[in-house]
Amino acid sequence: MRNAELWVFIFLLGLLGLNWPIIEIFHIDVIMYLFVFWLLFIGLVAYAAHKSGMDRKPGNTEARKPGSPVKKELTSALPISRA
């Protein structure tokens, strides 16, 4: 779910950058600013998309860990050596 928050963040970043007051800062050469910002934004999305594509690797199963230790503990704790 961190993923979703990341994207919302990127979106908000873009929204902020393309609106007043940020845009006002660059009012000298708005056009240049807009196009540069636009391109950078696309680059950012591309990078983030590439990264999120990488995270989907198999074997990241955390669910296994709690299982086995408990089991082991139990059997070793059980009493008198029934060798």
Contact residues: another protein, CB under 8 A: 3-4, 7-8, 10-11, 14-15, 18-20, 23-24, 27, 30-31, 34-35, 38-39, 41-43, 45-46, 49, 52-53, 66, 70, 73-74, 76-83
Minimum CB distance to another protein smaller for 61 or for 81: 81
Cα 6 to Cα 39: distance, rounded to the nearest angstrom: 19
Contacts within 8 Å (CB) and 24+ apart, 68-77: none
Closest approach of Cβ 59 to another protein, in Å?
19
Closest approach of Cβ 65 to another protein, in Å?
13
Q: Which two tokens stand for residue 67?
A: 């299982």
Closest approach of Cβ 58 to another protein, in Å?
15
Distance of CA 50 to the CA centre of its chain: 11
Cα 10 to Cα 2: distance, rounded to the nearest angstrom: 12
